């Protein structure tokens, strides 16, 4: 369903489980970033009303999540601050082809894969965090990430036939899995 | 309350009243643009949690309005399309000072003035359009534009003392009034 080609390595939960403050700060910035990506897609492809409506819904939902995470951070008395992101998003964006309509397909599929990975990881956090309040919080976000993944994959079919979208999704999912297997030392949602 | 230094000339309602399709298309793009501006402010000044929360609320509301206008356009069977904008927004953005924190003050005050002008004009449309459905629709958006104006002016005080914000608001409102008095031939929300 999520089209991920490799599961998150076990080392990840050990890494972020001990750095909840950093994880939540990064998570807040990821929700903001996800809203920004959807807004950029709305601006780029506004002549497709179906895409425009789907993007407004996603922007609004991501910003709701951003506020929820901000609330969790403030609840715990952790200072709100900027944070160096993982390289994951930038590396995936580097795979986007430059020419339209391939560019549109790739932008949507990269967004789809980021949602899928977030979804998988929120499930891991829900099932493994000793902090039950945060575990439940991540669990509550699981479903919307899965839904966003599906929307993005479907919207890619506005710009290429279904078979071509599936083929490209497989390619990008392979690349995404390689980045995830490589890992990163920082405690981040996508490290 | 709206800090506008000149009322909309009577010629404007005559111009847009006869071009409702263009007016609504432009209005939809303006709501999208307003959401984009608030999103950019969120990204630029995310270290201010009060501003971040205010921006998420404004982005979400502008996107709701965008969808509502899109609905009105589709209801009437008008084809959805891109449209050349008026020069108003670009001319106002040209007045923004380049160095922080003056830049933040100006970005917020320019946004405030655009909301104020929209508010005034939605009131004019509400009171003057023969098309009562659209008149009521514009009337329903009036209050939120006024509220956004107030929020932006208040947020500018995160970056400069109140007196300085008022002084700069007066300057920018003078410039905005001059652009409005000059007018533009296109039938647009801000022409």
What's the domain range around A20?
Answer: 13-181
The string of DSSP letters for B38-102 reads HHHHHHHTTT-HHHHHHHHHHHHHHHHHHHHHHHHHHHTTPPP---PPPSHHHHHHTTS-SSTTH
pLDDT confidence of residue A122: 98
Q: Summarize the confidence of residues B83-91 as an average pLDDT.
A: 95
DSSP secondary-structure letter at A20? Answer: H
pLDDT confidence of residue B1: 82
Quick one: closest CA in B to A43, which residue?
B32
Chains A–B, number of C-beta pairs less than 8 Å apart:
59
Place of tokens 């007045």: B95
B66 touches A at CB < 8 Å:
yes
Report the alpha-carbon distance of residue B126 to residue B123 in Å, rounded: 5
Q: How many domains does chain B have?
A: 1
**Min distance A69 CA to chain B CA atoms (Å):** 12
> For B131-184, what is each residue's pLDDT tens digit?
999 999 999 999 999 999 999 999 999 999 999 999 999 999 999 999 999 999
- Answer yes or no: do A35 and B39 touch at CB < 8 A: yes
Residue B105 in this model has a pLDDT that exceeds 90: yes
Residue A1 in this model has a pLDDT that exceeds 90: no
Q: Summarize the confidence of residues A71-85 as an average pLDDT.
A: 95
What is the CA A179 to chain-centroid distance, rounded? 14
Average per-residue pLDDT in chain A?
97
pLDDT confidence of residue B21: 97
> What is the CATH classification number for the domain harbouring A34?
1.20.1260.10
Average per-residue pLDDT in chain B?
97
Report the alpha-carbon distance of residue A58 to residue A39 in Å, rounded: 9
- Answer yes or no: do B56 and A74 touch at CB < 8 A: no
Chain A residues whose CB is inside 8 A of the B35 CB are 39, 59
User: Would A4 be classed as within a structural domain?
Assistant: no
Residue B11 in this model has a pLDDT that exceeds 90: yes
Quick one: closest CA in A to B57, which residue?
A63
> For A87-141, what is each residue's pLDDT tens digit?
999 999 999 999 999 999 999 999 999 999 999 999 999 999 999 999 999 999 9
H helices present in B157-185, as ranges: 162-182
Place of tokens 């490290």: A191
**Min distance A47 CA to chain B CA atoms (Å):** 6
Q: Summarize the confidence of residues A64-91 as an average pLDDT.
A: 96
Q: Summarize the confidence of residues B48-54 as an average pLDDT.
A: 95
H helices present in chain A, as ranges: 11-17, 20-44, 49-75, 88-93, 102-128, 132-156, 162-182
User: Would A102 be classed as within a structural domain?
Assistant: yes
Chain A residues whose CB is inside 8 A of the B59 CB are 35, 39, 59-60, 63
CB-side neighbour CA atoms (13 Å) of A169 = 26
CB-side neighbour CA atoms (13 Å) of A184 = 15
Q: Are A6 and A181 in contact (CB under 8 A)?
A: yes
Q: Which of B36, B52, B82 sits opposite A70 (nearest CB)?
A: B52
Q: CB-based contacts of A92: which residues, under 8 Å, 6+ apart?
A: A110, A113, A114, A172, A175, A176, A179
User: Would A2 be classed as within a structural domain?
Assistant: no
Residue A182 in this model has a pLDDT that exceeds 90: yes
User: Would A85 be classed as within a structural domain?
Assistant: yes
Residue A63 in this model has a pLDDT that exceeds 90: yes
Q: Summarize the confidence of residues B109-113 as an average pLDDT.
A: 98
- Which candidate in A63, A65, A71 is best for mutational testing of the B interface (most B CBs within 10 A)? A63
The tokens of B158 are what? 């995160």
- Which candidate in B44, B59, B63 is best for mutational testing of the A interface (most A CBs within 10 A)? B63
User: Would B190 be classed as within a structural domain?
Assistant: no
Taking only residues 21 to 60 of chain B, the set having a beta carbon closer than 8 angstroms to any beta carbon of chain A reads: 29, 32, 35-36, 39, 42-43, 46-47, 49, 52-53, 56, 59-60
pLDDT confidence of residue A6: 97
pLDDT confidence of residue A47: 93
């Amino acid at each position: 369903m999520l089209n991920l080609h490799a599961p998150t390595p076990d080392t990840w939960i050990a890494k972020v489980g001990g750095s909840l403050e950093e994880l939540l700060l990064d998570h807040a910035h990821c929700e903001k970033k996800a809203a920004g990506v959807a807004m950029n897609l709305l601006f780029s492809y506004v002549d497709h009303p179906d895409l425009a409506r789907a993007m407004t819904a996603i922007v609004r939902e991501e910003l709701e999540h951003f506020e929820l995470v901000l609330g969790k951070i403030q609840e715990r008395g952790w200072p709100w601050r900027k944070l160096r992101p993982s390289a994951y998003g930038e590396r995936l964006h580097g795979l986007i082809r430059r020419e339209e309509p391939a560019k549109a397909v790739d932008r949507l599929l990269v967004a789809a894969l980021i949602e899928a990975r977030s979804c998988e990881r929120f499930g891991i956090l829900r099932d493994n965090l000793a902090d039950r309040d945060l575990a439940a919080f991540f669990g509550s976000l699981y479903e919307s990430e899965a839904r966003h993944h599906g929307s993005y994959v479907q919207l890619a079919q506005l710009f290429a036939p279904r078979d071509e979208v599936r083929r490209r999704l497989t390619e990008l999912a392979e690349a995404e899995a390689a980045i995830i297997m490589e890992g990163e030392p920082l405690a981040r949602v996508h490290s």
